[in-house]
Structure 1
Amino acid sequence: MRKLTLFIVSDSVGETADLVAKAAACQFRQDLETVSMKRFSHVEDESQLREIAYLAKQQQAVIIYTLVKSSMREKLKQECQLNGLNCIDLLGPIVEGIGNSLGEKPKEEPGLVRQLDEDYFKKIEAIEFAVKYDDGRDPRGVMKADIVLVGVSRTSKTPLSQYLAHRSFKVANVPLVPEVDPPEELYNIDPKKCFGLVISPNVLNSIRKERLIVLGLKDDANYARIERIKQELDHFEKVVSKIGCKVIDVSNRAVEETANLILSELPNRRL
Structure 2
Amino acid sequence: MDSSTMIIYVISDSIGETGELIAKSSVKQFESYNYEIKRYPYHNSIEQIEPILEEASKNKKSLIVYTNVVQKTRDFIEEKAKALNLHTVDVMGGPMDQLEDILGYPPLREPGLIRRLDDNYFKKVEAIEFAVKYDDGKDPRGAKKADICLVGISRTSKTPLSMYLANKLYKVANIPLVPEVPVPSEVYEKDVKRVIGLTCNPEKLISIREERLKSLGLSGSAKYANIERIKEELRYSQQIMDELGCIVIDVSTKAIEETAEIIIDYMENMEKNF
Matched-pair contact (CA < 8 Å) for 2:14–2:43: yes
Partner residue of 2:53? 53
Q: Select the residue among 265, 268, 271 that pairs with 1:268.
A: 271
More moved, 76-85 vs 200-209: 200-209
In 2, distance between residues paired with 1:264 and 1:231? Answer: 31
Partner residue of 2:118? 117
Inter-CA distance 18–210: structure 2 relative to 1 (3 Å threshold): closer
Partner residue of 1:11? 13
In 2, distance between residues paired with 1:259 and 1:131? Answer: 17
In 2, distance between residues paired with 1:94 and 1:220? Answer: 62
Instruction: Output one character per residue of 1:27-80: Cα deviation in whole Å (capped at 9) or x when no partner.
Output: 679698x7361414241x345444443344467754221112344322210011
3-state SS, counterpart of residue 10 of structure 2: strand
3-state SS, counterpart of residue 205 of structure 1: helix
Partner residue of 1:258? 259
Partner residue of 1:80? 81
In 2, distance between residues paired with 1:72 and 1:101? Answer: 24
Partner residue of 1:128? 129
Matched-pair contact (CA < 8 Å) for 1:29–1:35: no
Matched-pair contact (CA < 8 Å) for 1:141–1:172: yes
Matched-pair contact (CA < 8 Å) for 1:49–1:79: no
The Cα of 1:100 is off from its aligned counterpart by 4.0
Alignment gaps of 5+ in structure 1: none
Confirm whether residue 164 of structure 1 aligns to residue 165 of structure 2.
yes
1:1-271 aligned within 5 A: 1-2=2-3, 3-24=5-26, 35=36, 37-43=38-44, 45-57=45-57, 62-100=63-101, 105-266=106-267, 267-268=270-271
* Alignment RMSD (CA, Å): 2.9
In 2, distance between residues paired with 1:268 and 1:52? Answer: 47
Inter-CA distance 58–238: structure 2 relative to 1 (3 Å threshold): same
> Alignment identity in percent?
46
In 2, distance between residues paired with 1:242 and 1:124? Answer: 34
Matched-pair contact (CA < 8 Å) for 2:144–2:190: yes
The Cα of 1:102 is off from its aligned counterpart by 5.1
The Cα of 1:18 is off from its aligned counterpart by 2.7
Matched-pair contact (CA < 8 Å) for 1:155–1:198: yes
